[in-house]
């Protein structure tokens, strides 16, 4: 593929003397774009696009539309770049969404590809990376979990896996959630007695672990089971996960009957327990299929301008769970447009099954199937069934999508009411869209960590949470005021630098049209912490008009419901005991407290297990392992003479000198 970037737009196109400004209306907004009232901005954008169009080839590729700041507005693919971009240059017959996009376009970039299939894959990848405002965005794009049965050890391991498939073995999934994977692995351990421990733990066992005692592992680490018998268990597990569950159950049933006839009742009881575990796995699968071995089912529902895509995963005639996604899309887009864009991004980082069932026909179904087939190296089919069992699966998924979106809309409505009550309780000029809560945690000043949690109309926005390790050398241990000041200074200094107040990013942030600037900042503390926060904001140029500050002091005996609130320039006040706003503030504060304590404990744990050898330059994992194997402990290494260090296998004179000098200078 080749890349062509055009930035040599004539100045008279970008600034044609018109006083009209480019209209920047967020996708999905209720504000209508009036073409008659803003002809200059649309015309200016059309001229920019036409300038690029004149030099484009009739070749497949991907195009990007950029605004005046260089931010990507839209990413699209085309079978013919010249024809596709030319459709924007007509300057008429555009929807309001497209007209807004054209009006903001100040530049374009292009990548030509060999085929349209390659363009489709590149488009999905760029959308996920750049998150353009006018594209459909898959907001929750975390990788899905799998079950891995390893094949790089004499005693294969059964583990949960997420991420790149670098380890040798068989992968089964995807599963809808980690909970579903953990539940299935627990049942598989009872059914097949396969180990779940890592290789280093396995190699260093001298007696069976607790899992062997509770009959969830056969104990291959200490030869409690011969390797050939363990291999038979592995083969049975592989067959079961590959869809041959009836054959596996039949073999176990026959073995149980044989053991009973031979009066080996303990062996018969173990077979019985294994059958019960397998039945438990199949019993919690919910709806299963009779004619679909492997498929993903996508059903889209739309309500009140919002979309929900419910995805069911079927593998080996079993339902491996479902998950609801809420993509960001302009409400003017049709369901088939949203579903098609969602599908391309969904499979950008995961393999597709042999069959994909959709609730709506999508425009590029054949092209999408060809692209996914190329990536997975197996034939992929995409259908929108109208009858039969496959349609029943679609209807089932549609019902779940409708219910999931209904719950989300209800939760959003309730959350919005709480934000309204919060604005009224604190006398804010407007309902806050973004609320930030700050807290810190430490033990006698050690391992101090600051934490920020964020909430909005959709509840807690965990992707925006942040932790702060205290870095100031002037900070005294246990100085809560100083820690709060440092945390707020660092947070808002960066905000002022990267997202100046009044910029377009002030109104939206990232992939979810969520404000970058908070309307309300809650400080877990009284007058002292509030004053430290106020000074921090003032020093970076943030006024009280920009961000409302509220301090929350815990009540007598730290009882919930007796909190005192502090606001700059006003006397302290309390809320009525049963006020919903008070309960909401308590939830926000408790979440900040939970997050701060969790971050502190994680940091403290890292410090407790920290190895002094990690601080020595030039000492990597191999040499560290060699030293520990030779001397046994870090204390023995610290006491060792230079000559003794040089005798350690794999340690040369320079390394021995570095280790000796490191501990000698310390002690």
Tens-digit pLDDT profile for residues 338-350: 999 999 888 887 8
What CATH code would you report for 612-666?
A: 1.10.150.20
Torsion (CA) 241, 246, 248, 253 in degrees, nearest 10: 150
Would strands 146-150 and 169-172 be described as parallel, antiparallel, or unpaired?
A: antiparallel
pLDDT at 32: 40
Q: Report whether pLDDT(500) > 70.
A: yes
In this prediction, residue 309 carries a pLDDT of: 93
Give 385-442 as a DSSP string.
--SHHHHHHHHHHHHHHHHHHHHHHHHHHHHHHHHHHHHHHHT-SS--S-EEEEEEEE
Q: Compute the average pLDDT of residues 576-595.
A: 87
pLDDT at 12: 41
pLDDT at 189: 83
* Closest to 551 in 3D by CA, of 561, 535, 565: 565
Query: From CA 230, how far away is CA 205, in angstroms rounded?
Result: 17
Strands 355-358 and 381-383, bridge-based pairing: parallel
CA distance 449 to 372: 45
Residue of 546, 597, 326 lying closest to 434 (CA atoms) = 546
Report the relative pairing of strands 61-66 and 520-524 from DSSP bridges.
Answer: unpaired
Which stretch of 144-158, 281-295, 627-641 has the lowest confidence by average pLDDT?
281-295
Query: From residue 206, how far is each of 157, 224, 422, 625 by CA, in Å?
Result: 18, 11, 60, 20
For the stretch 384-394, pLDDT in tens is 999 888 898 99
Tell me the per-residue pLDDT of 396-407, one tens digit each, with 9 for 90 and over: 899 999 998 888
Checking if the pLDDT of 305 tops 80, the result is: yes
437: pLDDT strictly greater than 90: yes
pLDDT (tens digit per residue) in 124-134: 889 988 889 88
Residue 295, CA distances (Å) to 142, 236, 318, 351 in order: 20, 23, 10, 12
For residue 560, what pLDDT is reported? 60
Is this prediction's pTM over 0.85?
no
Residue 19: pLDDT band (50, 70, 90) is very low
In this prediction, residues 502-530 reach a mean pLDDT of: 73
Convert 485-545 into a string of H (helix), E (strand) and C (coil).
HHHHHHHHHHHHHHCCCCCHHHCCCCCCCCCCCCCEEEEECCHHHHHHHHHHHHHCCCCCC
Long-range contacts of 645-650 (CB under 8 A, 24+ apart): 650/622, 650/623, 650/626
Domains 2-130 and 612-666 agree in fold:
no
- Among 20-24, 300-304, 639-643, the minimum mean pLDDT is found in 20-24
Cβ–Cβ under 8 Å, residues 589 and 437: yes
Cis bond upstream, residue 174 (ω within 30): yes
Helix (H) / strand (E) element for 367: namely: helix 365-376
Classified as helix, coil or strand, 192 is: helix
pLDDT exceeds 70 at position 122: yes
Quote the CA–CA distance of 647 and 630 in Å, as a whole number.
Answer: 9
Whether the predicted pLDDT of 16 surpasses 60: no
Nearest CA-CA partner of 25 in 413, 331, 386: 331
pLDDT at 76: 92
Strand intervals (E) in 259-398: 294-303, 306-315, 318-325, 355-358, 381-383
Above 80 in pLDDT, residue 179? no
| Range 21-32 average pLDDT | 33
Q: Spell out the CATH class of 294-406.
A: alpha beta
Give the integer Cα–Cα distance in Å for 271 and 651. 52
Q: How far apart are the first and last CA of the chain?
A: 60
Count other C-beta atoms under 10 Å from residue 10's C-beta.
11
In the predicted structure, residue 317 carries a pLDDT above the cut 80: no
For residue 162, count CB atoms less than 10 angstroms from its CB and return exposed for 0-12, middle for 13-18, buried for 19 or more.
middle
Average pLDDT of the residues in 577-603:
87
Q: What percent of the chain has pLDDT over 90?
A: 15
Give 245-260 pLDDT, tens digit per residue: 667 777 788 878 888 8
Domain 2-130 CATH superfamily: GIY-YIG endonuclease (3.40.1440.10)
CB atoms within 10 A of CB 578: 8
16 or 90, which is more confident: 90
Neighbours of 622 (CB within 10 A): 9
pLDDT value at residue 502: 62
Most confident of the following: 445-449, 537-541, 657-661: 537-541
Rounded to an integer, the average pLDDT of 554-558 is 62
Sequence ranges of the domains in the chain: 2-130, 146-283, 294-406, 427-600, 612-666
CATH architecture of the domain with residue range 427-600: 2-Layer Sandwich (3.30)
Q: Is 354 exposed, middle or buried (0-12, 13-18, 19+ CB in 10 A)?
A: middle
């Amino acid at each position: 593929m080749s890349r062509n970037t055009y930035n040599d737009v004539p100045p008279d196109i970008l600034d044609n003397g018109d006083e009209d400004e480019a209209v920047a209306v967020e996708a999905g907004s209720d504000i209508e774009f009036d073409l008659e009232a803003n002809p200059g901005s649309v015309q200016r954008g059309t001229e920019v696009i036409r300038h690029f169009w004149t030099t484009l080839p009739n070749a497949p590729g991907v195009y990007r539309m950029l605004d005046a700041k260089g931010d990507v507005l839209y990413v699209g693919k085309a079978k013919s770049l010249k024809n596709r971009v030319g459709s924007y240059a007509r300057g008429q017959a555009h929807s309001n969404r497209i007209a807004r996009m054209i009006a903001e376009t100040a530049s374009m970039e292009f990548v030509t590809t060999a085929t349209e299939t390659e363009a489709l894959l590149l488009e999905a990848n760029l959308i996920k990376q750049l998150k353009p405002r006018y594209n459909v965005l898959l907001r929750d794009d975390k990788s899905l979990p799998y079950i891995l049965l390893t094949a790089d050890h004499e005693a294969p391991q059964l583990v949960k896996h997420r991420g790149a498939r670098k380890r040798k073995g068989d992968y089964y999934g995807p599963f809808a959630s980690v909970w579903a994977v953990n539940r299935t692995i627990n049942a598989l351990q009872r059914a097949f007695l396969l180990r779940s421990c890592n290789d280093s733990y396995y190699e260093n066992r001298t007696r069976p672990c607790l899992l062997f005692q509770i009959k969830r592992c056969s104990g291959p680490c200490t030869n409690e089971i011969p390797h050939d018998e363990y291999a038979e268990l592995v083969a049975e597990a592989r067959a079961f996960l590959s869809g041959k569950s009836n054959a596996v159950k039949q073999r176990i049933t026959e073995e149980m009957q044989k053991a009973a006839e031979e009066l080996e009742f303990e062996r018969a009881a173990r077979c019985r327990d294994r059958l019960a575990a397998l039945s438990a796995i199949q019993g919690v699968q919910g709806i299963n299929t009779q004619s679909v071995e492997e498929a993903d089912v996508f059903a889209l529902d739309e309500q009140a301008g919002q979309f929900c895509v419910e995805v069911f995963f079927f593998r080996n005639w079993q339902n491996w769970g479902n998950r609801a996604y809420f993509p960001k899309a302009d409400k003017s887009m049709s369901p088939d447009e949203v579903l098609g864009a969602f599908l391309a991004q969904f499979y950008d980082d995961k393999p597709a099954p042999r069959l994909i069932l959709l609730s709506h026909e999508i425009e590029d179904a054949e092209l999408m199937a060809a692209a996914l087939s190329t990536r997975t190296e197996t034939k992929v089919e995409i259908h929108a069934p109208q009858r039969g069992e496959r349609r029943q699966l679609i209807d089932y998924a549609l019902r779940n999508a409708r219910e999931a979106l209904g719950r989300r809309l209800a939760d959003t409505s309730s959350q919005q009411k709480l934000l309204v009550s919060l604005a009224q309780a604190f006398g804010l000029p407007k309902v806050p869209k973004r609320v930030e809560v700050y807290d810190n945690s430490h033990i006698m000043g050690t391992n101090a960590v600051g934490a920020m949690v964020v909430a909005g109309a959709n509840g807690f926005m965990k992707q925006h949470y942040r932790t702060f390790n205290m870095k100031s050398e002037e900070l005294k241990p246990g100085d809560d005021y100083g820690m709060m000041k440092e945390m707020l200074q660092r947070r808002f200094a960066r905000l002022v630098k990267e997202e100046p107040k009044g910029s377009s990013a002030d109104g939206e942030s990232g992939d979810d049209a969520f404000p970058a600037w908070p309307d309300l900042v809650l400080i877990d503390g009284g007058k002292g912490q509030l004053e430290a926060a106020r000074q921090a904001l003032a020093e970076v140029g943030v006024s009280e008009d920009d961000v409302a500050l509220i301090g929350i002091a815990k009540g007598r005996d730290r009882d919930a419901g007796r909190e005192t609130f502090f606001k700059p320039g006003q006397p302290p006040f309390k809320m009525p005991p049963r006020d919903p706003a008070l309960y909401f503030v308590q939830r926000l504060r408790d979440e900040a407290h939970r997050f701060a304590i969790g971050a502190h404990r994680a940091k403290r744990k890292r410090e407790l297990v920290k190895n002094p050898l990690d601080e020595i330059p030039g000492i990597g994992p191999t040499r560290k392992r060699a030293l520990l194997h030779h001397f046994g402990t870090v204390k023995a290494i610290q006491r060792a003479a230079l000559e003794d260090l040089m005798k350690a296998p794999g340690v040369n004179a320079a390394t021995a000198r570095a280790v000796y000098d490191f501990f000698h200078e310390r002690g």
